């Protein structure tokens, strides 16, 4: 029966009655693992003739990838941005791969550690990995547990300045048991043992190439510009800010892979023309992160040359509401914890603002397949997605909430109470999509009787960490900010945005150089309690429930207004097969060994 | 002559020092932060961020940073890019050949178009040819390059599929190289030839009115000969000077055109470095550009002196 | 003593005035000649008419055509030109004609303000250097040389990019961006004017009529402003005209690179920038601002061309 179901589904798929993603989701319901499902789908959509055709190593010429941000460094642990991780992942590999739901599959590890197979300790204090035997680096040297241990030392040395550091800071030690076994011990019992050595942040680097470059001279290593690893390709030439070319790693473990003799990763330009190069001119085989307005993208897709790959987990585009007064200067800082926001500290006002945001229009007009409207702050890994929240646009209810709370419309149509006007300064980064979102939000809030001033700050300044610049997201010298914070395999760092057990440390302010993670200055005891439990609870089911509750508290108290559950959108030409390469927690290039052309 | 050149070189040194200070101050005092991309990254705690700043030397006071920069600049070490940690010199040298080829040939095309058109419209001032040429020139520099560039992409790449619009340095076969250069070269040449044409025309007109031309005509020389032997030769002197003055622009690149066609030249490096606050690269580009401007100013003066016997260097 | 004398001159002038009323209709003054020659330059006249029309339209247009520039209407997104929206709408359904008219005000204002900045600076520096000579001249010309050696575009991008946010913080987004763009374009472009003016001053200040003014007791400022400047103004006017066009073009290029005005300030450059992704979907979004930029610059250049011919005192018609 089950086999029958799968078969009908594949037939539907072939006849375009189902999208690939729908099919995958339904196969998932049928209990097929996602990887198997994708393999099946790929075989079907690729057509019967080429389903079984095995391609030999290096038989398919050049694969051309287009990234509108150009890689500048090829060592993933010194990466300046996502594009650098993707460029590194063509050559380097992690122990495990994680998909968007949070499921793990082995890459360099022989199997996924679990309590059942003895890999994960029952007390949550350690995890032991078995490595694949016989794996070699691209220069022929063997890959051993020693390299894993070294990778840890390399990253955890603060002087190295590794940008992946945060995933390794709860580890006490990493030790080799034998050549293919390695044991990781944690400071405290943790349910999130899979943050280290997994996915984008977990790539293992060769000890023999980087041994002299641990610590302060890390940025001088030749390896950074000419990386090689255990993956299918190795760097051939590198022009920072423009182009990386890769050639086959002669020691790659599967003799029939990879399919291409060369890979080129070209960088620079803008997302629209990158989409154009795949969909309209076919100059490139694959384009990354097409943050393009939906009408433009869907128009280009009409050419039928390419296929879009949307994947949830691109973060939640969110409105952050300031709980403190951004216009009052206290002790040399605005938005001081000693102040209260004149109107945003009123729960009814926050609820009204949330009700007046037209997420649906935003999603359909601006995002299309690249994002869904959402009422949740925590959406990824998808197992944490709460079903208890409701998303509604209700101007009448919003208006009556404001009436109830005593906010009356003045002669100019702007609501006020005790001489305070509902005057909102609303800032985000310079980005045409964001500016359009601002317009939609403004539209709704003005119907509510608010006065909205839109501002946009250059992204380089807005997201910068400079304590001297007051235009940054951390200073929060405005009433409302809008940006997307990225997700992690563990929800802890994302949810820290609303945590305030120790306000002096957790909340961004002058006293801690605005380094606190809580930018909205929101404080809630119930939330803090759930957060503390979620960090400790070892039972996976219970743990998930705790985080869902934490999300629900933050949503009902309107600690932020979630707008869009964003997807990262890549595109490939039709005849390129990339397998299940999309994941919120890994780079699209993680499985490049399996990429091949069909037909 | 040698004395003149030497004197000019010496007097340009203080100018260059002042320029370097000004540029350094602008770059260093500006807001923005090379680590801004890491600010929202939960994996990078503040202490690690400070370590990286220290590795880049960004935690030192401004005058010290300037002196250090100046010292190592003189020693030939132009610093390392914050982004890739590649030596800035290597980064620039990687990109220079592309610029020389694309921008150089566009400039050549512009000159080859501008001189004949400019001459014709000067000789037949207010004729139909002149009006057409003038209109063409004006349209040439009234159209922003980004507009013509994108228009060409839509027509020649998207609709007709004739030309690729993404410049790829790994292409080596001559036809491929030519094909990917056509659009950027055409866009730039249209823009540059427009102003050059006007310049050639007015330079010709200045000379046509002069006494020596009347003398030549009075001698009974044919019109064509007067134009070619006398007017053209003299009119081209300021044109050559102008070309020398514009050449440093080839180095700083055509920012917009490089951006549209993804030509990996110095211009696109400049934009990328601006966005990443990559100070060493910015400094290098701005300062090399300043040196070239000063140098080519001198070259222009020397050319002018050599070609025009009326000029004497004191 | 000096004052009585100049009073005397003024009196003579006053006495002569009635006679001037009866002067022949075709009395030839420098400016009169120039205007006559300019009038005969057909393309220049067409250019002047076009540009005046554009400017007038942009100033008055928004009062007559009262469509809001920022009203979003996704129902009419990217609709082609129609009776309701003569220039069509953009991707947000905002009326393009209203935006083009409003944007024109800013683009043209940027052009003129930048021109005035650079001309004022240039005339000041050039006049002082040329009039006083000596050390003052030396110093000012060295500064001019230094500014000429700045790699213009690189510096322009640097300053605009790096200081955009601090300035907009103090002056607000619109005013701040305007001030920044205008002053940077002005500050990086005054040098040619300064040189022109200086050269003119050097040539004119020793002429007899200046000598005469000086001996009549006219002070340095009076000499510069009343007697020398008008005689060296023609090349400055031409340069100024052309720099309006250059500034409009530069503003649009900056907007294209994303360093110009914010999206809710629809300058022509910004409109083109916003339209570039929709060229094949909704070409009218790019067409109208593109035509406007082209028309404005084209007409200004023709005017400049005509002025060059008209103000050339060596020409006789």
Per-residue confidence in pLDDT tens, chain A, 599 aa = 334 444 444 444 444 444 444 544 444 444 444 444 554 454 444 444 444 446 788 899 999 999 988 898 999 999 888 899 999 999 999 999 999 988 999 999 999 999 889 899 989 899 999 999 999 999 999 999 999 999 999 999 988 888 888 889 889 999 999 999 999 999 999 999 998 999 999 999 999 999 999 988 888 899 999 999 999 999 999 998 899 999 999 999 999 989 999 999 998 888 888 999 999 888 899 999 888 888 888 888 888 889 999 998 888 999 999 999 998 888 888 888 889 999 999 999 999 999 999 999 999 888 898 899 999 999 989 889 999 998 888 999 999 999 999 999 988 889 999 989 999 999 998 777 888 899 889 989 999 999 998 887 777 678 776 666 778 888 899 999 999 988 888 898 899 999 999 998 899 888 888 888 899 999 999 999 999 999 988 888 899 999 999 999 999 999 999 999 999 899 999 999 999 999 989 999 999 999 999 87
> Measured between beta carbons, which residues in chain C are less than 8 angstroms from residue A435?
262-264
Q: Do C154 and B289 touch (CB under 8 A)?
A: yes
Q: What is the nearest CA distance from A508 to chain B, expressed in angstroms?
A: 12
Q: Do B40 and A466 touch (CB under 8 A)?
A: no
Q: What is the nearest CA distance from C274 to chain B, expressed in angstroms?
A: 12
Burial level of A105, CB count in 10 A (0-12/13-18/19+)? Answer: middle
Output the CA angle A308-A288-A210, nearest 5 degrees. 140
Closest to A593 measured CA to CA, from A140, A275, A229: A229
Strand A286-287, strand A62-67: pairing: parallel
Per-residue model confidence (pLDDT) at position C12:
38
Query: What is the 3 state secondary structure string of C250-263?
Result: HHHHHHHCCCCCCC
Provide the token pair at B222: 């044919």
DSSP class of residue A55? Answer: P
Which residue of chain C has the CA closest to A292?
C277
Interface probe, candidates B14, B21, B142, B244, chain C, greatest C C-beta count within 10 A: B142
Spatial contact of A44 and A10, defined as CB atoms under 8 Å apart: yes
Burial level of A21, CB count in 10 A (0-12/13-18/19+)? Answer: middle
Q: Residue B31 is nearest to which of C146, C165, C280, comparing CB atoms?
A: C165
**How many beta-carbon pairs below 8 A join chains B and C?**
113
Which residue of chain B has the CA closest to A62?
B170
Q: What is the largest CA-CA distance in chain A?
A: 79
Per-residue model confidence (pLDDT) at position B311:
62
Q: Residue A293 is nearest to which of C91, C161, C164, comparing CB atoms?
A: C91
Per-residue model confidence (pLDDT) at position B239:
83
pLDDT per residue as tens digits for the range B95-105: 888 888 888 89
Per-residue model confidence (pLDDT) at position C5:
38
Q: Residue C263 is nearest to which of A272, A361, A432, comparing CB atoms?
A: A432
Per-residue model confidence (pLDDT) at position A104:
93
pLDDT per residue as tens digits for the range B205-248: 877 777 787 888 788 877 777 777 778 878 888 788 788 877 87
Report the C-alpha gap between A355 and A406 in whole angstroms: 17
Q: Do A240 and B81 touch (CB under 8 A)?
A: yes
Per-residue model confidence (pLDDT) at position A6:
43
> Measured between beta carbons, which residues in chain A are less than 8 angstroms from residue C78?
295
> Measured between beta carbons, which residues in chain B are less than 8 angstroms from residue A515?
46
Q: What is the nearest CA distance from A493 to chain B, expressed in angstroms?
A: 6
> Measured between beta carbons, which residues in chain A are less than 8 angstroms from residue B92?
none
Q: Residue C173 is nearest to which of A436, A455, A470, comparing CB atoms?
A: A455
Chain A residues whose C-beta sits inside 8 Å of any chain C C-beta: 272, 292-293, 295-296, 299, 361, 365, 430, 432, 435-436, 439-440, 443, 454-458, 461, 469-471
Which residue of chain B has the CA closest to C291?
B143
Q: What is the nearest CA distance from C263 to chain A, expressed in angstroms?
A: 7
The whole-angstrom distance between residue B302's C-alpha and the CA centroid of its chain comes to 20
* pLDDT surpasses 70 at B313: no
The average confidence (pLDDT) of chain B is: 80
Which residue of chain B has the CA closest to A512?
B46
Q: Do C77 and A295 touch (CB under 8 A)?
A: yes
Per-residue model confidence (pLDDT) at position A468:
67
Report the C-alpha gap between A454 and A436 in whole angstroms: 11
Which residue of chain C has the CA closest to B293?
C149
Per-residue model confidence (pLDDT) at position C27:
58
Exposure on the CB side of residue C293, measured as CA atoms within 13 A: 32
Provide the token pair at A371: 């994002």
Q: Residue B262 is nearest to which of A164, A219, A268, comparing CB atoms?
A: A268
Interface probe, candidates A200, A235, A460, A469, chain B, greatest B C-beta count within 10 A: A460
**Residue percentage of chain C with pLDDT more than 90:** 4
Q: Do A440 and C274 touch (CB under 8 A)?
A: no
Interface probe, candidates C76, C165, C256, chain A, greatest A C-beta count within 10 A: C165
Which residue of chain A has the CA closest to C91?
A295
> Measured between beta carbons, which residues in chain C are less than 8 angstroms from residue B18?
146
Q: Do B40 and A169 touch (CB under 8 A)?
A: no
- Could you list the beta-strand ranges (E) of A322-441: 371-373, 408-409, 415-417, 420-421, 423-429
Q: What is the nearest CA distance from B73 to chain A, expressed in angstroms?
A: 19
Per-residue model confidence (pLDDT) at position A478:
92
Q: Do C279 and B18 touch (CB under 8 A)?
A: no
Run of H or E residues at A263: strand A262-267
Q: Residue B138 is nearest to which of C153, C154, C298, comparing CB atoms?
A: C298
Per-residue model confidence (pLDDT) at position C217:
81
Q: How confident is the model at residue B68 (pLDDT cuts 50, 70, 90)?
A: confident
Q: Do C263 and A435 touch (CB under 8 A)?
A: yes
> Measured between beta carbons, which residues in chain A are less than 8 angstroms from residue B259?
268-269
Q: Do B293 and C146 touch (CB under 8 A)?
A: no
Low-confidence ranges of chain C (pLDDT < 50): 1-21, 316-317
Report the C-alpha gap between A571 and A310 in whole angstroms: 8
> Measured between beta carbons, which residues in chain B are less than 8 angstroms from residue A155?
none
Q: Residue C72 is nearest to which of A299, A443, A461, comparing CB atoms?
A: A443
Output the CA angle C4-C7-C12, nearest 5 degrees. 130
Q: What is the nearest CA distance from A558 to chain C, expressed in angstroms?
A: 27
Written as one string, the DSSP assignment of chain C is: -HHHHHHHHHHHHHHHHHHHHTS-TT---HHHHHHHHHHH-HHHHHHHHHHHHHHHHHHHHHHHS---SS---GGGTTPPS-SSSTT-B-TT--BHHHHHHHHHHHHHHHHHHHHHHHHHHHHHHHHHHHHH-HHHHHHHHHHHHHHHHS-HHHHHHHHHHHHHHHHHHHH-HHHHHHHHHHHHHHHTS-HHHHHHHHHHHHHHTTSHHHHHHHHTT--HHHIIIIIIHHHHHHHHHHHHHHHHHHHHHHHHHHHHTT-SS-TTS--HHHHHHHHGGGTTT-THHHHHHHHHHHHHHHHHHHHHHHHHHHH-TT---
Query: Which residues fall within 8 angstroms of residue C53, CB to CB, at 6 or more apart?
Result: none
Q: Do A457 and C165 touch (CB under 8 A)?
A: yes
Per-residue model confidence (pLDDT) at position C79:
82
Report the C-alpha gap between A566 and B19 in whole angstroms: 46
Report the C-alpha gap between B72 and B212 in whole angstroms: 55
> Measured between beta carbons, which residues in chain C are less than 8 angstroms from residue A443?
72
pTM: 0.80
Closest to C162 measured CA to CA, from B286, A372, B140: B286
Q: Do C149 and B248 touch (CB under 8 A)?
A: no
Q: Residue A224 is nearest to which of B36, B38, B85, comparing CB atoms?
A: B85
Q: Residue C72 is nearest to which of A439, A458, A461, comparing CB atoms?
A: A439
Q: Do C165 and A293 touch (CB under 8 A)?
A: no
pLDDT per residue as tens digits for the range B255-298: 888 888 888 888 888 888 877 778 788 888 888 888 888 888 88
DSSP class of residue A539? Answer: -
Subunits close to B (at least 3 CB pairs below 8 A)? A, C
């Amino acid at each position: 029966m089950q086999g029958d179901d799968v078969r009908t589904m594949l037939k539907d798929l072939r006849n375009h009655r189902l999208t690939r993603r729908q099919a995958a989701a339904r196969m998932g319901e049928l209990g097929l693992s996602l990887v198997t499902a994708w393999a099946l789908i790929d075989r079907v959509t690729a057509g019967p003739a080429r389903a079984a055709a095995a391609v030999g190593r290096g038989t398919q010429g050049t694969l051309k990838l287009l990234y509108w941000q150009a890689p500048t460094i090829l060592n993933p642990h010194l990466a300046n941005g996502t594009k650098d991780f993707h460029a590194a992942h063509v050559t380097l590999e992690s122990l495990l791969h994680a998909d968007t739901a949070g499921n793990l599959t082995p890459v360099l590890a022989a199997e996924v550690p679990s309590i059942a197979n003895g890999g994960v300790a029952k007390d949550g204090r350690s995890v032991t990995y078995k490595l694949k035997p016989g794996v070699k680096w691209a220069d022929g040297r063997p890959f051993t547990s020693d390299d894993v241990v070294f990778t840890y030392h390399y990253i955890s040395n603060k002087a190295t300045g590794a940008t992946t550091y945060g995933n390794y800071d709860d580890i006490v030690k990493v030790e080799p048991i034998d050549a293919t076994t390695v044991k990781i011990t944690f400071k405290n019992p943790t349910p999130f043992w899979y943050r280290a050595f997994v996915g984008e942040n977990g790539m293992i680097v060769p000890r023999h190439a980087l041994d002299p470059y641990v610590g302060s001279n890390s940025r001088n290593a030749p390896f950074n510009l000419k990386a090689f690893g255990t993956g299918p390709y190795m760097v051939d030439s590198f022009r920072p800010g423009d182009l990386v070319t890769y050639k086959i790693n002669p020691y790659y473990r599967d003799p029939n892979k990879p399919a291409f003799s060369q890979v080129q990763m070209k960088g620079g330009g803008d997302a629209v023309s990158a989409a154009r190069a795949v969909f309209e001119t076919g100059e490139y085989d694959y384009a990354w992160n097409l943050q393009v307005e939906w009408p433009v993208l869907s128009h280009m897709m009409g050419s039928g040359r390419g296929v879009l790959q949307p994947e949830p987990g691109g973060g939640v585009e969110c409105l952050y509401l300031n709980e403190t007064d951004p216009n009052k200067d206290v002790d040399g800082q605005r938005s001081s914890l000693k102040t209260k926001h004149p109107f945003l500290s009123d729960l009814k006002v926050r609820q009204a603002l949330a009700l007046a945001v037209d997420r649906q229009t935003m999603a359909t007009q601006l995002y299309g397949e690249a994002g869904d409207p959402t009422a949740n702050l925590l959406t990824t890994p998808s197992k944490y997605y709460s079903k208890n929240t409701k998303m509604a646009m209700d101007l009448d209810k919003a208006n009556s909430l404001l009436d109830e709370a005593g906010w009356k419309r003045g002669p100019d149509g702007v609501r006020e109470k005790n001489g305070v006007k509902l005057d909102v300064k609303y800032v985000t980064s310079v980005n045409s999509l964001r500016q359009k979102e601002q317009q939609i939000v403004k539209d709704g809030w003005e119907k509510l009787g608010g006065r909205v001033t839109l501002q946009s700050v250059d992204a380089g300044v807005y997201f910068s960490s400079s304590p001297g610049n007051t235009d940054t997201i951390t200073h929060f010298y405005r009433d409302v900010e809008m940006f997307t914070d990225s997700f992690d395999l563990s929800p802890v760092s994302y949810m820290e945005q609303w945590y305030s057990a120790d306000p002096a440390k957790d909340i961004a302010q002058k006293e801690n150089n605005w380094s606190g993670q809580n930018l909205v200055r929101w404080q809630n005891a119930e939330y803090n309690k759930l957060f503390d439990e979620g960090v400790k609870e070892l039972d996976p089911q219970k743990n998930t429930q705790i985080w869902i509750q934490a999300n629900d508290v933050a949503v009902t108290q309107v600690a932020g207004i979630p707008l869009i559950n964003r997807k990262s959108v890549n595109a490939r030409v039709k005849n390129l097969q990339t397998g299940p390469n999309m994941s919120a927690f890994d780079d699209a290039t993680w499985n490049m060994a399996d990429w091949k052309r069909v037909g | 002559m040698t004395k003149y050149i030497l004197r000019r070189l010496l007097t340009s040194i203080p100018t260059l020092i002042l320029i370097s200070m000004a540029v350094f101050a602008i770059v260093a005092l500006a807001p923005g932060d090379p680590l801004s991309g890491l600010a929202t990254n939960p994996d990078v705690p503040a202490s690690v961020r400070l370590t990286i700043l220290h590795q880049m030397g960004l935690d030192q006071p401004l005058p010290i940073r300037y002196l250090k920069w100046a010292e190592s600049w003189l020693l030939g070490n132009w610093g390392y890019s914050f982004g890739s940690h590649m030596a800035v010199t290597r980064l620039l040298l990687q990109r220079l050949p592309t610029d020389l080829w694309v921008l150089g040939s566009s400039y050549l095309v512009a000159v080859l178009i501008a001189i004949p058109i400019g001459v014709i419209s000067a000789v037949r001032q207010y004729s139909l040819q002149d009006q057409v040429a003038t209109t063409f020139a004006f349209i040439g520099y009234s159209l922003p390059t980004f507009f013509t560039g994108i228009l060409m992409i839509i027509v020649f790449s998207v609709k007709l599929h004739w030309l690729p619009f993404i410049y790829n340095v790994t292409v080596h076969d001559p036809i491929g190289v030519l094909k990917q250069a056509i659009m950027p070269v055409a866009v730039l040449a249209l823009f540059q030839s427009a102003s050059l044409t006007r310049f050639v025309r007015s330079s010709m007109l200045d000379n046509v009115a002069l006494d020596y031309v009347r003398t030549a005509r009075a001698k009974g020389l044919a019109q064509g000969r007067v134009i070619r032997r006398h007017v053209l030769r003299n009119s081209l002197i300021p044109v050559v000077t102008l070309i020398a003055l514009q050449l440093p622009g080839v180095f700083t690149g055509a920012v917009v055109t490089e951006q549209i066609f993804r030509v990996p030249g110095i211009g696109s490096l400049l934009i990328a470095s601006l966005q990443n606050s990559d100070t060493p690269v910015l400094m290098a580009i701005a300062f090399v550009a300043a040196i070239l401007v000063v140098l080519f100013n001198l070259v222009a003066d020397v050319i002018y002196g050599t070609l025009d016997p009326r000029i004497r260097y004191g | 003593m000096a004052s009585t004398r100049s009073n005397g001159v003024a009196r003579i002038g006053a006495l002569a005035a009635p006679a001037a009323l009866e002067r022949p209709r075709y009395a030839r003054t420098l400016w009169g000649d120039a205007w006559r020659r300019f009038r005969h330059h057909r393309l220049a006249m067409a250019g002047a008419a076009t540009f005046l029309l554009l400017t007038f339209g942009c100033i008055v247009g928004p009062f007559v055509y009262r469509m809001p520039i920022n009203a979003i209407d996704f129902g009419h997104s990217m609709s082609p030109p129609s009776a309701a929206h003569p220039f069509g709408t953009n991707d947000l359904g905002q009326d393009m004609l209203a935006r083009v008219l409003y944007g024109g005000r800013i683009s043209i204002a940027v052009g003129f303000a930048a021109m005035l900045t650079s001309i004022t600076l240039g005339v000041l520096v050039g006049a002082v250097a040329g009039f006083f000579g000596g050390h003052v001249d030396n110093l000012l010309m060295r500064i001019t040389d230094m500014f000429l050696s700045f790699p213009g575009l690189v510096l322009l991008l640097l300053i605009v990019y790096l200081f955009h946010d601090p300035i907009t913080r103090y002056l607000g987004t619109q005013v701040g961006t305007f001030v920044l763009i205008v002053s940077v374009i002005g500050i990086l472009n005054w040098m040619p004017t300064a040189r022109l003016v200086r050269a003119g001053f050097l040539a004119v200040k020793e002429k007899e009529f200046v000598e005469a003014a000086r001996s009549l007791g006219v002070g340095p400022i009076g000499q510069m402003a009343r007697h020398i400047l008008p005689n060296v103004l023609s090349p400055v006017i031409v340069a100024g005209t052309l720099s309006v066009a250059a500034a409009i073009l530069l503003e649009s290029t900056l907007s294209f690179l994303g360093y110009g005005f914010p999206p809710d300030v629809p300058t022509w450059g910004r409109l083109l920038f916003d339209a570039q992704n929709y060229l094949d979907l909704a070409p009218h979004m790019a067409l109208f601002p593109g035509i406007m930029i082209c028309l404005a610059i084209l007409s200004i250049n023709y005017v400049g061309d005509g002025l060059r011919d008209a103000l050339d005192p060596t020409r006789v018609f």
